[in-house]
Chains A and B, each alone.
Chain A
Amino acid sequence: MSYKIPMGPYHPGLEEPYKLDMICEGETVRDAELHIGFNFRGIEHLAETRNYFQVIALMERVCGICSFIHTLTLCQSMEQLAALEPPPRAKYIRVVMAELERLHSHVLWAGIAAKLMGFKTMFMTCFALREKVMDILQAISGNRVNYSMNRVGGVNRDIEDPLALLPAVDELEREMMRTVIPIFTTSSTARSRCAGIGVLTHEKAISCAVVGPTARASGVAQDLRRAAPYAVYAELDFEVPVEQAGDVRARLFVRALEIIESCRILRQALSKMPPGEIAVGGDKFSFATGTATSRVEAPRGEVMYSVTWKENSRNPARVHVRTPTYANMPAVRWMVRGARLADTPLIQASIDPCYSCTDR
Chain B
Amino acid sequence: MTTLDSLREKLGIAEPWVESRGTHWLNPGSIGLRELAKVMNQVQARFVTITAYQLPGDEGFRLEYHWDLEGRLLGFPFLAKGSSMASIFDLCEAADWIEREVHEGFAIDFTGRDYEPLLLRPGDAPGVNLREIPAPVKPPTGLQGQEEVAR
Chain A residues with a Cβ under 8 A of chain B: 33, 36-37, 40, 42, 44-45, 76-77, 80-81, 206-209, 222, 224, 226-228, 290-295, 302, 304, 306, 308, 318, 320, 322, 326-327, 329-330, 359
Contact = CB atoms under 8 A, between A and B. Distances in A.
A299 B20 CA distance: 27
A330 B97 contact: yes
B46 A206 contact: yes
Given A45-B129, A330-B94, 4 more contacts: A37-B121, A292-B21, A293-B75, A326-B98
Most buried by A among B22, B119, B129: B22
Contacts of A206: 44, 46
A290 B62 CA distance: 13
A222 B53 contact: no
A201 B127 CA distance: 36
B129 A77 contact: no
B23 A327 contact: no
Contacts of A209: 46-48, 92, 94
A335 to B, nearest CB: 14
B47 A320 contact: no
B103 interface: no
Most buried by B among A209, A304, A327: A209
Interface stretch (B4-12, B26-34, B64-72, B134-142): B64-72
Contacts of B119: 36-37, 40, 359
Interface in B44-67: 44, 46-49, 51-53, 64, 66
Task: Determine chain A's interface SS by DSSP, over half rule.
Answer: mixed
A208 B94 contact: yes
A6 to B, nearest CB: 15
A303 to B, nearest CB: 11
B96 interface: yes
A51 B47 CA distance: 31
A291 B75 CA distance: 11
Nearest to A227: B71
Contacts, number: 84
B66 A45 contact: no
B125 interface: no
Given A42-B129, A228-B72, A320-B51, A80 B21 contact: yes
Contacts of A77: 21-22
A291 B96 contact: no
Contact of A290 (B21, B71, B94, B130): B21
B43 interface: no
A294 B94 contact: no
A37 B128 CA distance: 14
A293 B98 CA distance: 17
Contact of A293 (B21, B94, B117): B21
Contacts of B36: none
A80 B20 CA distance: 9
Interface in B75-134: 75, 92-94, 96-98, 105, 116-121, 129-130
A81 B23 CA distance: 13
A358 to B, nearest CB: 9
B64 A207 contact: no
Nearest to A295: B73
B94 A304 contact: no
24 contacts: A36-B118, A44-B129, A45-B130, A77-B22, A206-B44, A207-B93, A207-B94, A208-B94, A224-B71, A226-B71, A228-B71, A290-B20, A291-B21, A291-B23, A292-B22, A293-B23, A295-B22, A304-B49, A308-B53, A318-B51, A320-B52, A322-B48, A329-B97, A359-B119
